[in-house]
Structure 1
Amino acid sequence: MLLDLFLLNVFIMLCSWVLVTYNRRAGLVDVAWSFSIALNVIIAAWAIDSAPLLVRLFLGLASGIWFSRLTWHLFRRYAHETQEDTRYANMRRAMGDYQHLGFLVFFIFQAGLALLFSYPMLNLLTISTEQWSDWTSVTVIVAGMIMLSALIGESTADQQLYHFKLDPQNQGKSMDQGLWKYSRHPNYFFEWLHWFAYPVLGLAAGSYELWIYPLLMWLFLYYLTGIPFSEKQALTHRGDNYKDYQRRTSMFIPWPPKE
């Protein structure tokens, strides 16, 4: 199953890479990454019958909805962009004459990364029914509450920022209303929160290694691909306005702003 899903991810990434070769907007890789995880989870929940039906339904529906919504949000953002995302534009310049091959390697790497972040769901789906404890339904409820809270929070943050950016009067300003009043990156915070649902669910099956995923996602968001780039880009485009926003507002965990 893992090999089949990886090959599916590679196919999706190769199709995306071909399109990016012509339109030179490599941000499509983010859409393809999220879409790959959504397909991985939905297919695995349908095809693997080892886990209890309740667990399969929860992961297929809850995780499928989570990553499908994220795919739609990223695609909508991508469709409205007129220029290539700064991250990938910088990569393109750095690779120079080898950008075509460089992006091919990068897209295939993302296929593997999509499988890596599908692992919590795949791991839970392959645990046989006999290994799940009597309080599986309790962990499903708790995991569902975490997932729902994260879904509402991230969806709200994304919608608030999306509509803020649509208003030309907000050009050069920092979004500091709604959830963005309490955190400079509420979308990342709720994305991180979502990953706690899987280790909580795994408690009922003794799958304790899944606790590495909230830590892994925090490292990605806090130090690698999320906050550092977003902060740098915001300072470049909004300067003192964003510095004032930084001074008043928590970076990650929602917290009342400073006066």
Structure 2
Amino acid sequence: MDYIHLIFLAIGLSLAMAISWAVQRATGASGWIDTIWSLAVGVGGVAAAYLAAGPVERRVTAIVIVAAWSLRLAFHIGARTRLGGEDPRYEKLIKEWGDRASFRLFYFLQIQAVAAFILVLAVYCAASNPAEYPQVGDLLALAVAAVAVIGEMVADVQLSRFRKTPEAKREICQRGLWAYSRHPNYFFEWLFWCSWPLMALPALGFAAIALLAPVMMYWLLVHVSGIPPLEEHMLKSRGDQFRAVQARVNAFFPGPRRSKLSTQ
């Protein structure tokens, strides 16, 4: 792949997020934004792997992995959106932006296009690894990606089932993976992107660039657009009940529940 292909991929991602903006404005359903984003990253990742210069086996592996992630996540978010589920993060932002919501949302989604490009670039770097296939890194990448996709799917299914129960109106999901992390879906989403620098090894230059994907995802999920706004919403809607969960359950990395109340 030369630079012109990277430019076309960046333009395509920007257009995809412009389309997601138009869909949200037309329907009022913010869930379509993340649905389209997931598909855009998947299509971009498949194209990047196809155009990469690495061994064909590694490129095919990359295509299968990123396509499986993209389709699974897009289907889940799209199904939830069709049922009328609204993302409280977007809902809060649009309300805060007021009369400038349309312009601010468009700008915000173009920033998401930049983030999507970094993820697609990680796929390209992994697929460009010139080493003979398979390397140990390839096998580790496959294992990490499989655990991540399955783990996120399980977490999403557990939460969806909980939301259909009468307890969901007054309680917080503490079933399955949600008993060991307040956001297991975010953890497994981050873990998925850890697979790409592994696949890029032993090509250290490609691995270093691919490492930007999990670093960026951790920062976004833990410190910016993932956990902070969602937990703010939970504190407003559940109050002390959610504070008790915060004291007992890790925010991101799954781990043993704490038996005594403490602050983080």
1:188·1:252 contact (CA, 8 Å) conserved in 2?
yes
Aligned to 1:29: 33
Matches of 1:211 and 1:103, distance apart in 2 = 28
The one-letter amino acid paired with 1:208 is: A
Matches of 1:187 and 1:85, distance apart in 2 = 15
Aligned-pair CA distance for 1:67: 1.9
Deviations 1:205-255 (A, max 9, x none): 222313333222211111111111121111111122212222221222111
- TM-score in terms of structure 1 length: 0.89
Match of 1:8 among 7, 12, 17: 12
Residue 42 (str. 1) matches residue 46 (str. 2): yes
Per the alignment, do residues 49 and 94 of structure 1 end up closer, same or farther by CA in structure 2, a change over 3 Å counting? closer
2:125·2:200 contact (CA, 8 Å) conserved in 1?
no
Per the alignment, do residues 135 and 187 of structure 1 end up closer, same or farther by CA in structure 2, a change over 3 Å counting? same
Aligned to 2:100: 98
| Equivalences, count | 253
Aligned to 1:76: 79
Unaligned stretches of 5+ residues in structure 2 = 260-264
Deviations 1:183-224 (A, max 9, x none): 111111111211221111111222231333322221111111
- TM-score in terms of structure 2 length: 0.88
Please state whether the residue corresponding to 1:72 is helix, strand or coil.
helix
Please state whether the residue corresponding to 1:162 is helix, strand or coil.
helix
Aligned to 2:262: none
Please state whether the residue corresponding to 2:111 is helix, strand or coil.
helix
Aligned-pair CA distance for 1:33: 1.3
Aligned-pair CA distance for 1:73: 1.5
Pairing of 1:1-259 with structure 2 (within 5 A): 1-46=5-50, 48=51, 50-81=53-84, 84-127=86-129, 129=130, 132=131, 134=132, 136-206=134-204, 207-209=206-208, 210-259=210-259
Aligned-pair CA distance for 1:49: 5.0
Query: Which region of structure 1 is more displaced relative to structure 2, 114-123 or 53-62?
Result: 114-123
Aligned-pair CA distance for 1:20: 1.6
Deviations 1:170-192 (A, max 9, x none): 21211111111111111111112
Aligned-pair CA distance for 1:156: 0.6
1:35·1:68 contact (CA, 8 Å) conserved in 2?
yes
1:160·1:178 contact (CA, 8 Å) conserved in 2?
yes
Deviations 1:10-37 (A, max 9, x none): 3322222222222223332211211110
2:14·2:113 contact (CA, 8 Å) conserved in 1?
yes
Deviations 1:40-99 (A, max 9, x none): 0122233x15110111011100111112211111212222235x4332233223332222
Matches of 2:135 and 2:24, distance apart in 1 = 44
2:122·2:212 contact (CA, 8 Å) conserved in 1?
no
Per the alignment, do residues 235 and 50 of structure 1 end up closer, same or farther by CA in structure 2, a change over 3 Å counting? same
**What percent of counterpart residues are identical?**
30
CA RMSD of aligned residues (A): 1.9
The one-letter amino acid paired with 1:181 is: A
Per the alignment, do residues 20 and 256 of structure 1 end up closer, same or farther by CA in structure 2, a change over 3 Å counting? same
Matches of 2:95 and 2:255, distance apart in 1 = 38
Please state whether the residue corresponding to 1:173 is helix, strand or coil.
coil
Matches of 2:178 and 2:161, distance apart in 1 = 13
2:126·2:200 contact (CA, 8 Å) conserved in 1?
yes
2:190·2:218 contact (CA, 8 Å) conserved in 1?
yes
